[in-house]
Amino acid sequence: MIGRRALLAAALAVCAGGTFAQPYPSKPIRLIVPFTPGGSTDILGRAIGQKLAEALGQQVVIENRPGAGGSIGAEAAARAAPDGYTLLMGHIGTLAVNPTLYPKLGYDPLKGFAPVAWVARVTNVLVVNPAVPAQTVQELVRLAREQPGRLRYGSGGNGSAAHLATEYFKLRTQTDIVHVPYKGTGPAVTDLLGGQIEMMMTGAPAVMPHVKAGKLRALGVGNARRVESLPDLPTIAEAGVSGFEAIQWYGVVAPAGTPEAVIARLNAEINRALATPELKARLVAEGAEAAPTTPQAFGAFIAAEIERWRPVIQKAGLKAE
């Protein structure tokens, strides 16, 4: 009998363009990161790209294509040839938020992409400037209700993951907190440190160094359960906002029509990389957790997230810049 490995190799060879084509991959792979270098999407994309290159024996070229909340890079990936040589490092914004946020989006996250692998969840952390007289989530909610419009929160821009998470927090707590959008998370954190705004809910990597330095106060995390790297921080749900959950997540997708055998190979290699002690430790350091699963499960998750966040975006009146 022909072994499974031989069958897979044969299938990959045919999928690559013909019966006598070289097995996949036979040339460098392009991984599009639809944001600027240095952010969480870029950091995770480069980590996965390095591991894929080692496993596949081909270079994985990271291509940063920022703009329009990640839509420019995502559209470029969706329009690429479905041959396994162009991938997208997607996240909650590009794959779940943008379909509602942008009325004329140039791609469809469900029809335009084939899910490859869910890479990681990154916790959102609710932080305040130390001058804010709130030591807990409940005290912050009480303050916001007693003084509507007094508190200001920052985000990396309209439609960003931080914007979405905090608007969801406002809806669940029935509070009036003013949104101050910035051109990136960095400037927002700078103003939070300086007291120009009072609070933020954003990814752990951007704020936890300042929390540890005593320059910001962390009140809770957006996960459904406590985070391994931040065990002393309660979830926002257990701190009083029942049912609250708002995280950032990241995953790899390919253009729709990419051969199933190629998808299976990439999924297996990414899941294997996520299980290595090196990458596990790196994810924990970023306030992230690995999320290995099947392409089918990741696709179902993306569809559910689109439906979950659509009413939040509509009720909050979020609009693209």
Kindly indicate the confidence band of residue 25, based on its pLDDT and cuts at 50, 70 and 90.
very high
* pLDDT score at 321: 57
| pLDDT in the model for residue 316 | 78
Q: Shortest CA distance to 199 belongs to which of 170, 226, 228, 172?
A: 170
| Neighbour-count burial of 307, counting CB atoms closer than 10 A to its CB (0-12 exposed, 13-18 middle, 19+ buried) | exposed
* Cα 188 to Cα 39, 120, 155, 156, 237, distances in angstroms: 14, 24, 6, 7, 25
| Model pLDDT, residue 312 | 86
Q: Which residue has the tokens 């998470």?
A: 165
Check pLDDT > 60 for residue 277.
Answer: yes
Task: Look at residue 37 and give its three-state secondary structure.
Answer: coil
Task: Give pLDDT, residue 12.
Answer: 54
pLDDT, residue 206, reads 83
Residue type, 20: F
Question: Is residue 115 a contact partner of residue 253, using CB atoms and an 8 Å limit?
Answer: yes
E-strand stretches of 102-231: 113-128, 152-155, 178-181, 199-203, 217-221
How many angstroms separate the CA atoms of 141 and 151, rounded? 10
8-17, 104-113, 305-314: which is most confident = 104-113
Burial of 155 (0-12, 13-18, 19+ CB in 10 A): buried
Show the tokens assigned to 110.
Answer: 């469900």
Phi and psi torsions of 128, nearest 5°: -130, 155
User: pLDDT tens across 258-276, in order?
Assistant: 999 999 999 999 999 999 9
Report pLDDT digits (tens) over 176-207.
999 998 877 888 999 999 999 999 999 887 88
Fold of 123-221: D-Maltodextrin-Binding Protein; domain 2 (3.40.190)
Model pTM? Answer: 0.80
Do domains 4-121+250-316 and 123-221 share one topology? The answer is yes
pLDDT at 8: 54
CATH of region 4-121+250-316, choose from 3.30.450.20, 3.20.20.70, 3.40.190.10, 3.40.190.150:
3.40.190.150
What is each CA distance from 265 to 35, 48, 107, 166, 214, in whole angstroms? 26, 14, 25, 38, 45
Domain ranges across the chain: 4-121+250-316, 123-221
**DSSP assignment, residue 154?**
E
